[in-house]
Amino acid sequence: MNKKLSDKDLKDWNKFIKSKDTINPKDELNEASINKNKSTFVIDLHGYGLDQANKFIEKTINQCFEKQFSIIKIITGKGMRSKSAEDPYKSSELSILKHSVPEFINSNAELMKKIKSIDNTNEKNLGSFNVHLKSKNKFR
């Protein structure tokens, strides 16, 4: 595969590699993940395994609660590319992140103390759901 880079692509690449800017890891709270109204935090779990996703969700909920976000939008994907259906030893319903992540959150008593509700009935995009956090000031 020998595709020649366009002059613009080459110029952009050279500018990028000479730049001192850094790319933030997707698993850290950063400004790019914060909604314009600064009350919603968005995370994308594409590429995460089940254990990785659960650990990241727990960390993110705790951090967002501390930073007083009101909503966390969690993008799991629809599970269309999951290989679970091909494996007779796995449940295609429970191993897909869109099913297992909300179940993990609901089964974690410490996380649920910080959560008002989980809205996983978003009809427009079945590959995401929202976690509504309680106010830290009203936490008991």
- Can you give the residue ranges of every domain in the chain? 32-138
Comparing 61 with 20, which gets the higher pLDDT? 61
**Residue labelled with tokens 């008593």:** 109
**Residue labelled with tokens 């976000």:** 69
Q: How far apart are CA 71 and CA 42, in angstroms?
A: 8
pTM assigned to the model = 0.63
pLDDT of residue 88: 47
Banded model confidence at residue 46, pLDDT cuts 50, 70, 90:
confident
pLDDT digits (tens, 9 = 90+) for 77-124: 765 444 545 554 444 444 478 788 999 999 999 999 999 999 865 545
pLDDT of residue 121: 58
Comparing 61 with 16, which gets the higher pLDDT? 61
Fold classification of 32-138 (topology level): Ribosomal Protein S8; Chain: A, domain 1 (3.30.1370)
